[in-house]
Structure 1
Amino acid sequence: MTTHDPIPARLAALRTTPTPELKQQWRELFDSEPPPFNRRFLESRLAYRIQELVYGGLKPETIRRLERLGEELDGGDRKKSRIRADLKPIVGTRLIREWQGVEQLVTVTQDGFEWQGRPYQSLSAIARAITGTRWNGWVFFGLKNHRRTA
């Protein structure tokens, strides 16, 4: 006699479960309040957690390897490791902005940005150097809308 695995059906049901019920499942499975992220995030994390509890999580050697790889990327800097990787453009990306008829070129570096051969920690500092006034660098280089969308 074969045993029916209820987990695939439970995972598939997440897609049609109302959001308040997903949040309740989060509370039960993680013993914490759900984060304020979108529904797809909740679904994917709940799916992982359900499988983790039933089938087991990552092996200790896998966790150690991931931690080592992470330290190679951020040098063990805990502040850096909490920064979302997608907040900054990929290293090597060139940002171009014309200002008063002059093309300004910024290159994204591992540690920040480079403009006119000089390193900068932020795009705002570069925008201020270019314009002489305070700017949100992300807005100045067209990476972010100046108005937040709801």
Structure 2
Amino acid sequence: MTRRRPVTEPVPTTPVIHTIPPAQVLPRLAALQTTSIADLKQQWRELFGKEPPPFNKAYIQSRLAYRIQELAYGGLRPETRARLEALGEQLDGGNIVLRRIRADSRPLPGTRLLREYDGVQHVVTVRADDFEFEGRPYRSLSAITRHITGTRWNGWTFFGLKGRPGA
């Protein structure tokens, strides 16, 4: 006895929009603010030709806004893309894994984190392997936060970075 494989029907695809008239850009950008998430996802399918990512509404709106402008006015020039790639390779030696880890975790060395607490502005400088606060090195933002507040806080949350590195 032979088994029949189930017949699968092809998934209907939405044709990808390749250009948008410049006169439609401003009205479309304004409409994004009041569009439902279901309609935003449908626009994503039309403009990108693939399923939308499982991210929040604000992210999808911002990416759609960029895509609308890109399709109307053109994207980055090839020279600009090449320059950005070269800069990325200088930072991580072309290792895409390192690039993603760094982008998802800690800020780049030299970044200054500012936080006002009890009427005093506190400045932390991110260094390659630690953080500098008031001229002293600290291994974690939580240690700095404990120094500032006198209580235990998540340092990444205290300085507005949301989560821990790699989280």
Count of residue pairs the alignment pairs up: 115
Q: Give the whole-Å Cα distance in 1 for the aligned partners of 2:156 and 2:81.
A: 34
Question: 1:88: Cα distance to partner?
Answer: 1.7
The aligned amino acid for 1:6 is: Q
Partner letter of residue 12 of structure 1?
A
So what's the TM-score if we normalise by structure 1? 0.58
RMSD: 3.7
Change (3 A) 1:43 1:84: farther
Cα 1:79/1:9, change in 2 over 3 Å:
same
Measure, in 1, the Cα distance between the counterparts of 2:37 and 2:77.
31
Relative to structure 1, the CA distance from residue 89 to residue 32 in structure 2 (aligned partners, 3 Å threshold; closer, same or farther) is same
Cα distance, 1:143–1:54 mapped onto 2, change above 3 Å: closer
1:23 counterpart residue number: 41
1:104-119 equivalence runs, <5 A: 109-110=127-128
Q: 5+ residue gaps in structure 1?
A: 94-106, 115-119, 124-139
Which SS does the other structure have where 1:16 is aligned?
coil
Q: What residue number does 1:133 align with?
A: none
Please name the residue that 2:94 is paired with: 76
CA deviation string 1:40-94 (max 9, x = no partner): 111110011111112111111011111111111222111012235252255378x
Out of 67, 91, 96, the position equivalent to 2:109 is 91
2:35 partner amino acid: T
Identity value in percent: 56
> Measured at CA, do residues 24 and 91 of structure 1 come closer, stay the same or move farther in structure 2, by a change above 3 Å?
same
The aligned residue for residue 44 of structure 1 is 62
Check whether the contact 2:22–2:72 (CA below 8 A) recurs between aligned residues: no
Superposition TM-score, scaled by structure 2 size:
0.53
CA distance in 2, matches of 1:141, 1:22: 34
**Structure-2 separation of matches of 1:29 and 1:142:** 39
Amino acid at match of 1:15: Q
Q: Residue 63 and residue 141 in structure 1: after superposition, are their counterparts in 2 closer, same or farther (change >3 A)? A: same
Which structure carries more relative contact order (alpha carbon 8 Å, separation 6+)?
A: 2
Shift, 1:35, TM fit: 1.0
